[in-house]
A and B are shown apart, each in its own frame.
Chain A
Amino acid sequence: MSVKKNYVMETIRKAQMVQMLAQGKRTDERALDQTRPIKIETGVIQKANGSARVTLGNTQVIAGVKIATGTPFPDTPDKGLLVVNAEILPLSSPYAEPGPPSEDAIELARVVDRGIRESEMVDLTKLCLIPGKSVVTIFVDCNIMNVDGNLFDATSYAVVSALRTAKMKKYSVKDDKVEATEDWIPVPVERTPVSVTMARIGDRLVVDPVTEEEASMDMRITITTDEDGNICASQKGEASTITPAQVLEAADTSIRVGKQIRSEILEATK
């Protein structure tokens, strides 16, 4: 519900943080628009069609891709299925609990899914086997292993990296029957969406907030961009506001910072 997580010590640090930000400084000495070091390892789970472990500072996420066949949705009979899901595991943080997904976990999964889906990263029309009857289904499940802020971006990079390196069986269609061949082909990836999340603390926006910054933030905004500098998805979060000018500032930051991260993802998933 609307309870701000009460990380007492971190909350006490807010005043200090606001003061430092006025001089352009962050508690971990990063620039306001600087992300933490990103480490991307692919192929970490052999039984998955594709996988990636992304480490963003102390935040760690593992994404696994599983590919099968299934029936399409009635309103998109000629398109494959792509579903992104995320779970904040109880082993990831002293504040996480087992049980049905929390509101925060649902938002996380849906915002990451939106970025991948809306950017048209995967060409779903190439996943159609028999229109209206059989399509390739791709599930990307993300396990949040360690929480230190900015789950949105770490999860998104893990999904993109896992999909870019995933391999699926080539299917053949004979007499209205789908059969898996012995050949492996890559997933039809067309675009590379990159999400950039910013937190507003006081009146400044900081990129890639850590837990300590998230505990003090007033507002959070995630913006996903593609390689042509288009904006494909966004979500404002937390019970506070953002000015129209800051929305446009955040959009420009996201395009600029996203470019750098995109080249890192492309390099790691060659």
Chain B
Amino acid sequence: MVEAKKKLIDDKGKRLDGRKWDELRPISLQVGLMKNADGSAYIEWGKNKIMAAVYGPKEVHPKHQVLPDRALLRCRYHMAPFSVDERKNPAPSRREIEISKVIREALEPAVIVEDYPRTAIEVWVEVLQSDGGSRCAGLTAASLALADAGINMRDMVVGCSCGIIEDTVVADLDDTEDKEGSGDMPVAIMPNLGQVTLLQVDGIYTRENFQKAFELAIEKGKQVYAMQRDALTTKFFGGEAMTTQVEEVAD
């Protein structure tokens, strides 16, 4: 029979891993680790370990897919067979095909595809270890990899998932919370343009909780964006440059 469910939040408001309701898991980002790729980024978000690599702009094959006015953005989200508890069949599942599509549609508004007509830009996201919220972590890394490849972009794209466990809205669900909780809402934003580029919802939300979780995801996304920026400046300016360049201009 099913074991009695453990409580996901204790009486003091602590979650299983000790986080508060609105706290993110530890996140680390590194840019440009892959030698062959034009751009790459590696993210560790909780137990998620994800590598994203970008190739392009390059020639389109097969040629009938060429777009005369812009670049063709290709994206694949793939989970390694060893990334989850039970071995996952390496063939792309329906879930992975859908996630590849939503990640592509989340990144494409940020990429100035009109600057690269008749080319392909390829984004490969490989989940080496998965721990809940992997599509958000994956696209956060993919956006960094695009920037690292020097692709023209309107903004960065950054994702964070919020959801509901024990009737409480919480930020950044891990694997257990995702499976045993009652709702998951991945959201991706372009933080400087104030636009949402990915939104998926499952679970049961009152109108009030829906708004609360949605706005929390945006707020947390902005927090991750700061780390994204740090990772880029670390690679290109040795870390300090961006923080010192902001000076008040008196007029």
Interface pair B109/A240, CB less than 8 Å apart: yes
CA–CA, A75 and B203, complex, Å: 18
Measured CA separation A107–B104 after assembly (Å): 13
* CB pair A241 B197 closer than 8 Å: yes
In the bound assembly, the distance between CA atoms of A3 and B74 in angstroms comes to 10
A243 at the A/B interface (Cβ < 8 Å)?
Answer: yes
Chain A residue nearest in CB terms to B101:
A103
B196 cross-chain contacts in A, Cβ below 8 A? 236, 241-244, 247
> Which stretch from B7-15, B47-55, B204-212 is at the chain A interface?
B204-212
With A236-B198, A239-B108 as known contacts, state yes or no: A226 contacts B204, CB within 8 Å.
Answer: yes
Main secondary structure of the interface of A (DSSP, over half): mixed
Q: What's the A-B contact tally at a CB cutoff of 8 Å?
A: 117
Interface size class of B (residues with CB under 8 A): 35 or more
B200 adjacent to A1 (CB under 8 Å): no
Is A265 positioned at the interface, with any CB of B under 8 Å from its CB?
A: no
| In the complex, per-residue mask of B163-197: 1 if CB is within 8 Å of any chain A CB, else 0 | 00000000000000001000101000010011111
- Specify the chain A residue showing the minimal Cβ separation from B75: A2
CB of B201 within 8 A of CB of A77, answer no
The answer for the CA separation of A251 and B208 in the assembled complex, in Å, is 11
The answer on a CB contact under 8 Å between A107 and B98 is yes
Residues of chain A within 8 A of B211, CB atoms compared: 248, 251
Contacts of A106 in B (CB 8 A): 94, 97-98, 101
CB contacts (< 8 Å) of B197 on chain A: these are 236, 241
A233 neighbours in B (Cβ, 8 Å): 201-202
In whole angstroms, how far apart are the Cα atoms of A93 and B105 in the complex? 24
Known A107-B101, A239-B108; contact A232-B195, beta-carbon cutoff 8 A: no
- Asked if B115 is an interface residue, CB under 8 A from chain A, the answer is no
A244 B109 Cβ-Cβ under 8 A: no
Distance A248 CA – B203 CA, assembled complex (angstroms) = 17
A228: shortest Cβ distance to chain B, in Å?
8
Question: Which of chain B's residues has its CB closest to A229's CB?
Answer: B207
Write out the residue numbers on chain B whose beta carbons fall within 8 Å of the beta carbon of A237. 102, 105
Residue contact B101 to A232, C-beta cutoff 8 Å: no
Q: Smallest distance from the beta carbon of A229 to chain B beta carbons, Å?
A: 6
Q: Which stretch (B17-25, B65-73, B127-135) binds chain A?
A: B65-73
Interchain CA distance A172-B210 in the complex, whole Å:
42
Query: Which residues of chain B come closer than 8 Å to A132, judged between CB atoms?
Result: 1
Shortest B67–chain A CB gap in Å is 7
Task: Enumerate chain A residues within 8 angstroms of B179, measured Cβ to Cβ.
Answer: 75
Evaluate contact between A244 and B194: CB separation under 8 angstroms. Answer: yes
Q: Is A110 interfacial (CB-CB < 8 Å)? A: yes
Stretch at the interface among A26-34, A114-122, A135-143: A114-122
Question: Which chain B residues lie closer than 8 Å to A118 at the CB level?
Answer: 183, 202-204
- A243, B195: Cβ atoms closer than 8 Å: yes
* With A234-B201, A240-B109, A244-B194 as contacts: A1 and B97 at CB distance below 8 Å: no
Q: In the complex, what distance in Å separates the CA atom of A44 from the CA atom of B173?
A: 43
- Does B2 reach chain A (CB closer than 8 Å)? yes
Q: Is the CB of B206 within 8 A of A1?
A: no
* Residue A97 interfacial (CB < 8 Å): no
Bits for B86-129, please: 1 = Cβ < 8 Å to A, else 0: 00000000110110111011001100000000000000000000
How far does the alpha carbon of A161 sit from the alpha carbon of B221 in the complex, in Å?
A: 39
Given A106-B98, A131-B1, A236-B196, does the pair A244, B218 have CB atoms closer than 8 Å? yes
Q: A234: which B residues are within 8 A, CB to CB? A: 185, 199-201
A230 at the interface (CB under 8 A from B): yes
| Distance between Cα atoms of A232 and B210 in the complex (Å) | 9
Contacts of A120 in B (CB 8 A): 204
Bound complex: CA of A132 vs CA of B1, how far in Å? 8
Say if the beta carbon of B59 comes within 8 Å of chain A. no
Question: Do residues B105 and A230 form an inter-chain contact, with CB atoms below 8 A?
Answer: no
Q: A3-B67, A238-B105, A251-B210 are in contact. List 20 more A-B contacts (CB 8 A).
A: A1-B72, A2-B104, A2-B108, A77-B1, A78-B1, A109-B94, A110-B95, A230-B205, A231-B206, A235-B102, A239-B105, A239-B108, A240-B108, A241-B109, A243-B195, A244-B194, A244-B215, A247-B214, A248-B214, A252-B207
Closest 5 CB pairs of A and B: A234-B201, A241-B195, A239-B108, A236-B199, A118-B202
Q: Can you report 25 A-B residue pairs in the complex whose CB atoms are below 8 A from each other? A: A1-B74, A2-B73, A2-B108, A3-B72, A75-B179, A77-B2, A106-B97, A106-B101, A110-B98, A117-B202, A119-B204, A120-B204, A226-B204, A231-B201, A231-B205, A232-B201, A234-B200, A235-B102, A236-B102, A236-B105, A239-B73, A244-B214, A247-B196, A247-B214, A252-B207
Q: Chain A residues in contact with chain B, CB under 8 A?
A: 1-3, 75, 77-78, 103, 106-107, 109-110, 114, 117-120, 131-132, 221, 223, 226, 229-244, 247-248, 251-252, 255
